[in-house]
Structures are given as structure tokens and as C-alpha cells.
Chains A and B, each alone.
Chain A
Amino acid sequence: MKPWRQPGFWIPLLLILVGGGVALVVRKDTLREMTFTLLMYVALASSLNILMGYTGYVNFGHIVFFGLGGYTGFYFISRHGWHLVPAALVGGLTSALLAALLGLAVLRLRGAYFALATIGINEAARAFVNNFRPFGGPTGLFVNFAIYREYGGAPQALWLTYTLLLITTLVAVAVSYTVKNSRFGLGLLAIREDEDAAMVMGVRTPRAKTIAYVISAFFPGIIGTLFFFKNGNVEPGDAFRLHMSIEVLVMIMLGGNGTILGPVLGAAAYERLRGYLLTSPLFKSLHLAFAGLALLLIVLFIPAGLVGWLRRRFPVLRRWLE
């Protein structure tokens, strides 16, 4: 089955390409900044979905890979003068490697125990970086403004960062589709339904879960490097924000856990909603409370999220909404 013949494959990619491409075509800086945040969340949600959506393992520590990968990539840019592209790749690979090591240990845990362990990993990573001298300890790292000259000036550097993020987002969604529609993906879905049964049927669950964890961790590492490069600095407080993990989780649940289009729509909807809540006089300062309420409502009434519900309610849409 050729994926590009499937509407479920190209609809999410087209949405991202059009949504993200507008800023590139009109070259408006304000639009680029708005879309950057949006794309970042789409890519984070889609990558988390590879683990959480397909295997059913709820991961509160996704942002660890964003933080540590970002720190590593940024370290090579600021201390060793690397170009953004190789640095971002190294950031991604570091996150993937870390996931491989962590996965061997924590993926043996199931359910609530796994979720709790991932919270612990987030705090441990923050404390580690806070005391790790090469990463600047609590002070963090920063780049000199002159570094942007290598990229032809600050505006070009920002457009390059944006373009790289758009590509990363497209790749993350494409990988998410490929995983889901592969034999390996079927194994993951089997784990989600019944891990013991999957083992009996011949799925090598520890290995499959770890590979899913590694793929899921690769993208946040790249995104972290791009984000911190754009910011010009990185500090422990910004790199390991637990609530960011929770927000990404809400985005997946809102759009549809385990679907391809779900995290894309969920991230876009939540980001817009957040923008509205934060500036609305009635709801300001309450956006996290609202996120909690939304999560509660979704889990109670539509656990499959928007896309999942639509697929179930209108079977005709299944071909289109993957």
C-alpha cells in the first residue's frame, strides 16, 4: 500500500504545508512567529503520539527530550560554533539515545507506574542540568549575537530556523503515519490493546516499545535545538517545564489519541484556544485549569478525541481521517 495514495497520509501533511507555508510565501515576520509556536506544538504532539497513541503508554516526560536534546544541540552551537543543522541533528540523536537507555529501564513499568516514573525523569533531568557545569548550571547557555552573521544575518537565521521546523514537523507526521501503518506499528497497537496477548502472539514488546520511545524522542531534541537557537539562550527553567508536557498531552487527547490527524488538529486548536484564554479577561490565568477541565471532559465523554469520534461516528470518513 503506497502511503501517498492514501488521503489519510497527505491530508495532515497538506494541512501543515499550507498552514506553515503561508508565512514562507508572504514573508511576514509576525505571522512566522505565530506559526512557529503552532508548528512546534504540532511536531511535539505528533512525536509523543508515536509512543502514547500507539502503545498506550502515558508519558509525562516528553519535554525531557525537548530540554536535553535542545541543551545538547545548543551546547554545540554556542561552545563549539557548530552550524544549526548538524547541531539540531545531534540534539535529536542525543534525545533518541537517552530514550533508548531510559526505555530499557522504565518501559518495563506499566500504567500509572510508568507515568509516575516519567514525571520523576523530568525532575531528575532538570536537577542534573542545574548542576552540570558544561551546560552552564543554573545560568544556562547563550549565543553571541554575532553568530547570526554566519547565516547571513539575524532575519535569515530566523527564516532558516522556521523552515527547518516546518520540515521537522512534516517528517514527524510522515514518520507517525509510516509507523502506524507498518508491521511494527501493528505490534505497537497490539501492545496498547493487551500487552500480554501481544507477547503471546510473538510481538517482542520490550524492543518494540523502546524503538517507539526512541523515535518519539528524536523529534523533540531537534525542536528544542531550533527553539533555543531562536531564543538565543537556554536555561533549566525553560527547558524542563512539566506543564508543557501536560499541555502536549491535552492536545493529543483533544485531537484524537493514536490518530495521525488528531495531534495536528489538537495542537492547532489548543494553541489557538490558549491564545484566546490567555488574553480573555474572563479566563486569564486560568488556561491550565481549563486544560485540566478539557482533559477531564474528553476522557469522560470522548476518550477517542475529535478525530477518533468522527471516525467512529461516520465510518465513511475513516478513509480520509487517519
Chain B
Amino acid sequence: MKRVPIALTLLLMVALVVGCARPTPTPTPPPPKPTVAPTVAAPAMEASTPTPVVRKAVIGFTASQTGKLNVESTRQINGLTLWMEQVNAAGGLKLADGSVVLFEAKFYDDESNKDRVQELYTRLINEDKADFLISPYSSGLADAAAVIAEQYGKIMITTGAASDSTYKKGYTLVYQTYTPASRYLTGAFDLLGALDAAVKKVAIIHETDKFSTDVCNAAKAYGEGKGYEIVLFEGYDSGTADFAPFINKIPAGTEAIMGGGHFADGSTFARQLYEKGVSVKFIALLVAPPEPKFAELGDAALGIIGPSQWEPQAKYSPEAAQAAGLEWYGPTVEEFVSAYKAKFNEDPSYHSAGGYAAGLILQKAIEAAGSLETDKVKAALDAMAIMTFFGAIKFDTSAEAHGLQIAHQMVYIQWQKDAAGNLVKQVVWPAEAQSAQPLYPLSR
């Protein structure tokens, strides 16, 4: 009798092992394919008008369809898919030589896992013959993918990846859509300076992961350069739930608090600051405040400022582009928001906007290059200086930080109350994107 369970277990294991003995990874079905064939087979009677040469550009990327980055990554891919569908539905991208480029997506699930990203990008380049690459979501995954892009000489537009270090590794083909991490909180100092020149004492309390540490080190250097006194610079471990020891360390006379890390710790920190009645004039935290769920904190959320790559309220427009001396490209903020809402039945987040913007950047570069060749598109990207619904786009072309985003700015949101007393997000900085006056000082 003892052999039955043994045999059963073995059978189960063998079945599972055999079951998985098929080529991994399974490619995810690509989004709707553009209809290339009919254009080529144009009716003979129309022969007098030259049939445009149709070229197909394969855009390769990985999506975190499973794992911890699933939500953000899905939104990013939604944005990218919307862009691709719009371009293809409009008949493709028409180049100066009369040819038409239609885009096709090839993507795999990276499981939010760095181990798999390199394997999958190698596959996208070698097996799926991707012409251009879009990065996965998150700095860590994008960093792993960027090496592969550079190794195989493919252009990669990164989105959802703010880390600066990726662009300081000597890459020449990787271009960043997001504002880099080093400028995440610097705008908060600019905003504070614009609101109240008398404030000088700032405490920075941040999570000690890579992203938050990079952001806060850069913010500290920037603040000190602007004459601020950093009265406390303290890190806390990821997963910290009790901030009392850190709050108790905030020296008397501190006028502003900055820092935070990710959603869970950032919102807990904001709540405990409120509960403990910490009286400061200004609080700016990373990542958590722009999330709609942050409003669940109620009064603890009121007045809290947070940097965001983009918000639907941001007022980027052709007029703002003209004022900044930049070319306007692509849809307006309203057009993007309504198209996204119509397709996905939800408000676009900055992840969605970043995904769309990455496609838009590629589109503009191919259009300007008039070609799909890497060298020409790279030259167009290096020369790019545009404003889109996502903000301004320009890349560093120096050898030290090639591809780093230098024009795009964070928008700073603040939770305020509307006429009905409901908490609403308002863009309070930069001035050209402002949707409401900042609430200052905090009344606590």
C-alpha cells in the first residue's frame, strides 16, 4: 500500500515536468495586427497613383503581466497599445519618401523578474527581429534590458524607469522618457522657495532602497546648494510601519519635511505625521501622494505634496510649447485622456501616459529620420526637442550621460479640498502646468 502514494507523487511530478517540456517562454499574442497585405495588393485600376511602399516596424518589449509590477506595467502597456492602434488606424506613419510605416508589437511576460528580462529581450531581437525596443516597467528591469539593447545595437526608449544610473554606463542607444530620479524632489525645493523664501530648515526622511536613496541624496545636494539647511537626513528600512522613532528625531523648528519611498510606507508616514500633530509648513513625499488611494487617509492627506511624472490636470499645450520655443507634437492632453478613457474605461495614470509618450517619441524620431535605420533614428533622437501632452522631451547627448532626459519636468500634485469638501488632486507646480494655487502653509 505504501507504494501507491509514492507512485502517485512520482507520476504527478513526471506529468508536471513533461507538461512543462515545451518551449518557454510562451509568446503572448500580439495586439491586433496591422493589415499590411491589402495595401500592397492595391487594385490594378489605381495603378496610376503610386502605391505607397508599406514597411513594418516591430516594436519589442516585455510586460509584467504577472508579479508585483503587474498594475503599473499593464497601464504602461495600455498607453503604448493605444498609441500603436492610433498610428496604425490613421494609415500608419508616412515618411518623407512616400513610404508608410505600420507598427507591430511583439511582447512577452517578464514576470516582474530581472532574471528573465535579458533572456526575453535577446529573444525579441534575435527571434522576433524587433526593430525598436521599449523598456519594461521599473528602473531595475529597464536597466537589465538596456544592456541587451546596447549589445545588439537596437534603440530602446525607456519608460517607467527613472533611475539616472542607466544612462551613465556609456550606452548610446537608450533614451529616457521619464524625468530622472535625481530631479524627483528638486522641484519641491523650487516650489518651496517660490512659496516662502523665509523657510530654511528641511528634514529628509526616506526609505533606504535604491530609488528613494538616489532621489533623496540628489534632493539633499540640490537643497543645500540653494541655501537650505538639512536638519535631519535619515533613512528607514523598506517595510517600516512605525515611524515614531523617526518623527521623534525631527528637530524643533523644522519647517518642511521631504522624503518617503513607496506607497505603503509613504502613506503610513503621512498618517503618522498627522496623528502625532507634527507642525510643519510643507510636506512633500515620493510616490504615494499621486496615487488615488492616498485620499483614503482623509485629513492626513490634505496639503501633502507629491511628485508625479504626469497628471491629467497638467496644462501642457501647443501655446505652452510655443512659449517655451519648442515644437508641439502629438495629441493634446484632453485628446489623450478622452481616447484612453474611451478604450480602457479608466483615467490614465502617469504610467499610461509614459507608455504612450514612449511610442510618440519613437514615432517623431522615425518621422524626422525618414527611415527605420538605427543610425538615422538615433541622430533624430539626439536632435529631438519637442513638447508633447506628457511634457517637454530632450535628451542629453554628452558621452557621460547619453540618453538621459533633460527637458521633462515632474509635476507636483497637492491634495486639496474642493467646494464640496472632497479631497482632490491639483497640480501646483511647475507654474506652466498649474491647475490650482498651492495650499500653504499646512494648517496643523
Chain A interface residues (CB < 8 Å from chain B): 28-30, 32-34, 36-37, 127, 130-131, 137-140, 142-146, 148, 154-155, 158, 230-233, 235-238, 254, 269, 272-273, 275-279, 284-285, 294, 297-298, 300-302, 306, 309
The reply to whether B9 and A145 form a contact with Cβ atoms under 8 Å apart is: no
Determine the chain A residues whose CB is within 8 A of the CB of B170 once the complex forms.
144-146
Q: Would B20 and A144 count as touching, CB distance under 8 A?
A: no
A29 touches B169 (CB 8 A): no
The answer to whether B126 and A145 touch across the interface, beta carbons within 8 angstroms, is: no
| Minimum Cβ distance to chain B for residue A142 (Å) | 6
State whether A29 touches B126 (Cβ < 8 A): yes
Provide a sorted-by-A list of 11 A–B residue pairs whose CB atoms are within 8 angstroms.
A30-B119, A36-B119, A138-B209, A143-B169, A145-B147, A145-B170, A154-B150, A273-B16, A278-B111, A302-B6, A302-B9
CB-CB nearest 6 A-B residue pairs: A276-B20, A275-B24, A154-B151, A33-B119, A145-B170, A301-B9
Known: A137-B213, A138-B210. A231 touches B118 (CB 8 A): yes
Instruction: Choose among A139, A230, A235, A238 the residue that contacts B118 (Cβ–Cβ < 8 A).
Output: A230
CB within 8 Å for A279 and B25 given contacts A230-B118, A231-B147:
yes
Contact of A233 among B115, B143, B151 (CB under 8 A): B143
A237, B139: Cα distance in complex, Å: 13
When chains A and B are docked, how far (Å) is the Cα of A238 from the Cα of B168? Answer: 20
- The answer to the question of B13 belonging to the interface, with a C-beta cut-off of 8 Å to chain A, is yes
Interface check B94, CB cutoff 8 A? no
A313 to chain B, nearest CB (A): 8
Interface pair A273/B126, CB less than 8 Å apart: no
Interface flag for B66 (CB, 8 Å): yes
Instruction: Kindly report which residue of chain B lies nearest to residue A238, judged by CB atoms.
Output: B114
Residues of B within 8 A of A32 (CB): 122
Say yes or no for B97: interface residue by CB 8 A criterion.
no
Number of A-B contacts (CB under 8 A): 128
**Are B66 and A37 in contact, with the CB atoms below 8 A?**
no
* Chain A residues, CB < 8 A from B437: none
A140 touches B5 (CB 8 A): no
Residue of B nearest to A157 (CB): B151
B48 is an interface residue with CB less than 8 A from chain A = no
| B169 and A284 contacting across the interface, CB-CB below 8 Å | no
Contact of B150 (CB < 8 Å), options: A145, A254, A278: A145
Of all chain A residues, which has the CB nearest B146? A232
Bound Cα distance A139, B207 (Å)? 12
A146 to B172, CA, bound (A): 11
Structural contact, A297 and B17, CB atoms closer than 8 A: no
Interface centre among A232, A269, A297, A306 (most CB of B within 10 A): A232
B127: chain A residues at CB < 8 Å are 30
Tell me the minimal C-beta distance from A120 to chain B in angstroms.
15
Q: B118: which A residues are within 8 A, CB to CB?
A: 33, 230-231
Q: Could you say which residues of chain A place their CB within 8 Å of the CB of B237? A: 127
CB of B140 within 8 A of CB of A235, answer: yes
Cβ–Cβ < 8 Å partners of B221 in chain A = none
Is the CB–CB distance between A285 and B66 below 8 Å?
Answer: yes
A145 in contact with B210 given A28-B126, A154-B150 (CB within 8 Å): no
User: B22 contacts the other chain (Cβ, under 8 Å)?
Assistant: yes
Name which residue of chain B comes closest to A284, CB basis. Answer: B66
- The complex places the Cα of A21 from the Cα of B9 at a distance, in Å, of 32
Enumerate chain B residues within 8 angstroms of A309, measured Cβ to Cβ: 6, 10
Count of chain B residues near A, Cβ 8 A: 50
Q: Is B123 an interface residue (CB 8 A)?
A: yes
Our pick among B65, B119, B123 for the contact of A37 (Cβ within 8 Å) is B119
Docked Cα-Cα span, A36 to B119, in Å, equals: 9
Give me 20 other A-B pairs in contact (C-beta within 8 A), A142-B169, A294-B13 excluded.
A28-B126, A30-B123, A30-B126, A137-B208, A140-B210, A142-B165, A143-B169, A148-B151, A237-B209, A237-B210, A272-B17, A273-B17, A273-B20, A277-B20, A278-B116, A284-B109, A284-B111, A298-B9, A301-B9, A302-B6
B contact residues around A138 at 8 Å (CB) = 208-210, 213
Chain B residues contacting A232 (CB-CB under 8 Å) are 143-144, 146-147, 169
**Residue B12 interfacial (CB < 8 Å):** yes
Of listed A254, A278, A285, A294, residue having the most chain B CB within 10 A: A278
Residues of B within 8 A of A142 (CB): 143, 165, 168-169
Q: Residue of A at shortest CB range from B212?
A: A138
Contacts of B209 in A (CB 8 A): 138, 237
Point out the residues of chain A lying under 8 angstroms from B19, CB to CB: 276
A275 to B120, CA, bound (A): 12
Interface members, chain B 164-178 (any A CB < 8 Å) = 165, 168-171
Interfacial chain A residues near B24, Cβ < 8 Å: 34, 272, 275-276, 279
The CA-CA distance from A37 to B119 in the complex, in Å, is 9
Interface residues of B in 1-58 (CB under 8 A from A): 5-6, 8-10, 12-13, 16-17, 19-22, 24-26
**Separation of A131 and B237 alpha carbons in the complex (Å):** 11
Select which of B6, B17, B165, B171 is within 8 A of A145 by beta carbon.
B171
Please report the C-alpha to C-alpha distance between residue A163 and residue B33 in the assembled complex, in whole angstroms.
Answer: 39
Contact bitstring B61-96, A, C-beta under 8 A = 1, else 0? 000011100000000000000000000000000000
Q: Cα distance A284–B119 when bound, in Å?
A: 19
Instruction: Determine whether the beta carbon of B66 is less than 8 Å from that of A278.
Output: yes
- Asked if A139 and B9 make an inter-chain contact with CB atoms under 8 angstroms apart, the answer reads no
Q: Within 8 Å CB of B432, what residues of A?
A: none
> Which residue of chain A has its CB nearest to the CB of B24?
A275
Chain A residues with CB under 8 A of B9? 297-298, 300-302
Interface string of B405-420 (1 = CB under 8 A from A): 0000000000000000
Which residues on the A side are within 8 Å of B65 (C-beta)? 284
B214 contacts the other chain (CB 8 A): yes
- Whether B169 and A145, one on each chain, are in contact in the complex, defined by CB atoms closer than 8 angstroms, is yes
Report if A139-B210 is in contact (Cβ < 8 Å); known contacts: A144-B169, A278-B111, A279-B25.
Answer: yes
Return chain B residues, CB-CB under 8 Å to A275: 20, 24-25
Q: A30-B122, A233-B143 given as contacts; is B67 within 8 A of A285 (CB)? A: yes
Query: Which chain A residues lie closer than 8 Å to B122 at the CB level?
Result: 29-30, 32-33
Taking the closest CB of chain A, its distance from the CB of B114, in whole angstroms, is: 6
CB distance from A307 to the nearest CB of B (A): 12
Q: Which residues of B contact A30 (CB under 8 A)?
A: 119, 122-123, 126-127
Q: Which residue of A lies closest to B28 (CB)?
A: A279
- In the bound complex, how far is the Cα of B399 from the Cα of A146, in angstroms? 11
Q: Please give, as numbers and ranges, the residues of chain A lying within 8 Å of B143 by CB-CB distance.
A: 142, 232-233
Q: Which residue of A lies closest to B173 (CB)?
A: A145
Q: Which residues in A have their C-beta under 8 angstroms from that of B119? A: 30, 33-34, 36-37
Assembled-state Cα–Cα distance A144/B172 (Å): 12
With a CB–CB cut-off of 8 A, which chain A residues contact B111? Answer: 278, 284
